[in-house]
Amino acid sequence: MLASALARCRAEAVTGVLRVAGNAGGLFHLRDGAVVAVDSPGSPGAETLLVGSGRVGAEDWVAALVDSVGTRSLQAALAARGIVGPAEAQALALAAVRDGAFAVAAGQVECCDVVDDVADGPPLPVAGGVDVDGLLSETARRLDAVASLAVPLSPYRDRVVPGRAAAGLTPERREIVAHATGRRNVRDLAFAVGRGLYPVTVEISRMLGEGVLEFASPVASFSFSHGDLATLRPRSEPSGAGRPG
Amino acid sequence: MDYDALVAELRQLRENVAGVTDTVIAASDGIPIISDVAKSVDPAHISALAAADLGIARQAAEVMGLGTLSQTVVFGSKGYMAVYAIGRLSLMVALGDKGLNLGRLLHESRPAIERIGSILAP
């Protein structure tokens, strides 16, 4: 469904937004039928990739955002402040488009529709856009790669905890292990460490294979607790609202 | 109180909406009823803050003539706290990370709030 909707946008040289409803779902920003950015709750965007990973300080990022209000170019603002050069910004924007397409395709897609361009366009578009055919074949390649991993896993369903083999980890792996509480799925971990969904999915699969991580039990995935309240009503009457304890 | 039914609702919300990290249902006076939170989050603190947050938002809605309050959302640079009124007696909190799908949360929580309301006050 996603592939045919994108192909139609390309054929009609759409300038606007293809909205994909689902979980995670997302927005494909298009210019003349090419994809300039993808926003998805399933994949970290430029801000998380730069600030969440520690590459750029939060204050520098906000300052660049403020600068870009007048010029409408975050890339120019980042470059003018010497924070991120144009080449790195474009590489990041391209990586975010590919990762966003993977995140949307790896989840549930319920329906797609084209809406008018949202008021403010994407903060860091790919100059010239990414060709839909190339993006679709790259996304298909990634889905195949994840399906054929030695330890297959779902970015949205599978949650992980630290395993027994924890010695000699790279800083990147240590960070993943530190955030692996069992409550976080692969997508949550990607946001927590500020890296792309696809690379983190592949990395976590390898770490599962090496015993650095283990799949979390359903008990670790949720931590429900309640106070055995018999009923809600008596305590919440207005006359009792100020009663201590 | 049918806690199993509440557990099912909170579980469904976290599984169906990308970015929801923690959920709490509390009485409007800030006493937690049931929670599904990380170790670093104290349900009692969240419930108290959410009750205060919802109280202020409700007051604002009434004073400004905005009608009945349904939700209030705190936007942070690292994430969100959405607080939903469940009638006048209770509330639900959803904490989310930077990537939280707010639109989806609204879409999923509306029917969930109705169901939770009838579980709490059958």
Domain boundaries, chain A: 2-147, 149-238
Residue A166 has pLDDT above 80, yes or no: no
Q: Is B75 exposed, middle or buried (0-12, 13-18, 19+ CB in 10 A)?
A: exposed
Torsion angle of alpha carbons A130, A135, A136, A141, nearest 10°? Answer: 170
Beta bridge partners of A19: A27, A113
Contact across the interface for B18 and A230, Cβ inside 8 Å: no
Contact across the interface for B99 and A48, Cβ inside 8 Å: yes
Whether A20 contacts chain B with CB within 8 A:
no
Beta strands at A16-23 and A160-162: parallel, antiparallel or unpaired:
unpaired
Structure tokens at A52: 């969440």
**Higher pLDDT among residues B97 and A117, named by residue:** B97
Whether A78 contacts chain B with CB within 8 A:
no
Beta bridge partners of B85: B91
Alpha carbon of A25: minimum distance to chain B alpha carbons (Å): 8
Compute the average pLDDT of residues A171-199.
Answer: 96
Alpha carbon of A121: minimum distance to chain B alpha carbons (Å): 18
Compute the average pLDDT of residues A32-42.
Answer: 95
Compute the average pLDDT of residues A196-203.
Answer: 97
Q: Which residue of B has its CA nearest to A220?
A: B38
- pLDDT band at residue B70 using 50, 70 and 90 as cut-offs: confident
Compute the average pLDDT of residues A138-155.
Answer: 95
Whether A47 contacts chain B with CB within 8 A:
yes
Whether A24 contacts chain B with CB within 8 A:
yes
Residue B90 near residue B10, CB atoms below 8 Å: no
Neighbours of B39 (CB within 10 A): 8
- pLDDT band at residue A232 using 50, 70 and 90 as cut-offs: low
Nearest to A187 by CA among B47, B91, B24, B15: B15
pLDDT of res. A234: 53
- pLDDT band at residue A32 using 50, 70 and 90 as cut-offs: very high
Residues of chain A with Cβ-Cβ distance to B7 below 8 Å are: 222, 224
Residue A233 has pLDDT above 80, yes or no: no
pLDDT of res. A53: 86
Residue A240 has pLDDT above 60, yes or no: no
Contact across the interface for B16 and A225, Cβ inside 8 Å: no
Alpha carbon of A182: minimum distance to chain B alpha carbons (Å): 10
Compute the average pLDDT of residues A57-74.
Answer: 89
Neighbouring residues of B1: CB distance < 8 A, sequence distance ≥ 6: A226, A229, A230, A231, A232, B33, B119, B120
Which 8-state DSSP code applies to residue A82? T
Crossing angle of helices B102-120 and B3-16, rounded to 10°:
170
Structure tokens at B3: 């806690």
Residue A230 has pLDDT above 70, yes or no: no
Q: What share of chain A is helix, strand, coil (3-state, %, to 5)?
A: 45, 15, 35
Whether B76 contacts chain A with CB within 8 A:
no
Residue A33 near residue A162, CB atoms below 8 Å: no
Residue B43 has pLDDT above 60, yes or no: yes
Contact across the interface for A230 and B1, Cβ inside 8 Å: yes
Nearest by CB to residue A229, choosing from B17, B33, B97, is B33
Residue B88 has pLDDT above 80, yes or no: yes
Whether B74 contacts chain A with CB within 8 A:
no
Nearest by CB to residue A187, choosing from B18, B29, B34, is B18
Average pLDDT, chain A: 90
Q: Tell the residue number behind the tokens 């010029």, with chain if given.
A: A71
Residue A128: CA count within 13 A, CB half-sphere: 4
pLDDT of res. B122: 78
Helices (H), chain A: 2-11, 46-47, 58-71, 74-80, 86-106, 132-147, 171-179, 186-193, 197-209, 218-221, 233-236
Percent of all residues in chain A with a pLDDT value above 90, rounded to a whole number: 77
Alpha carbon of B64: minimum distance to chain A alpha carbons (Å): 23
Residue A25 has pLDDT above 90, yes or no: yes
Compute the average pLDDT of residues B20-34.
Answer: 95
Compute the average pLDDT of residues B47-72.
Answer: 94
Residue A35 has pLDDT above 90, yes or no: yes
Residues of chain A with Cβ-Cβ distance to B29 below 8 Å are: 235-236, 241
Alpha carbon of B60: minimum distance to chain A alpha carbons (Å): 19
pLDDT of res. B65: 96
Nearest to A30 by CA among A135, A110, A140: A135
Whether B69 contacts chain A with CB within 8 A:
no
Buried b (16+ CB within 10 A) or exposed e, A170-184: eeebebbbebbbbbb
Which 8-state DSSP code applies to residue A183? S
Compute the average pLDDT of residues A175-181.
Answer: 95
pLDDT of res. A116: 76
Q: Tell the residue number behind the tokens 């969440």, with chain if given.
A: A52
Whether B5 contacts chain A with CB within 8 A:
no
Residue B86 has pLDDT above 70, yes or no: yes
What global pTM score does this model have?
0.89
Residue A141 has pLDDT above 80, yes or no: yes
Compute the average pLDDT of residues B77-100.
Answer: 94
CATH for A149-238, options being 3.30.56, 1.10.10, 1.10.3470, 3.40.50: 1.10.10
Which 8-state DSSP code applies to residue B121? -
Distance CA A55, CA B56 (A): 38
Residue A3 has pLDDT above 50, yes or no: yes
**Higher pLDDT among residues B58 and A70, named by residue:** B58
Residues of chain A with Cβ-Cβ distance to B97 below 8 Å are: 188, 191-192
Neighbours of B77 (CB within 10 A): 10
- pLDDT band at residue A241 using 50, 70 and 90 as cut-offs: very low
Distance CA B45, CA A211 (A): 36
Phi, psi of A128 (to 5 degrees): 85, -15
- pLDDT band at residue A245 using 50, 70 and 90 as cut-offs: very low
pLDDT of res. B45: 95
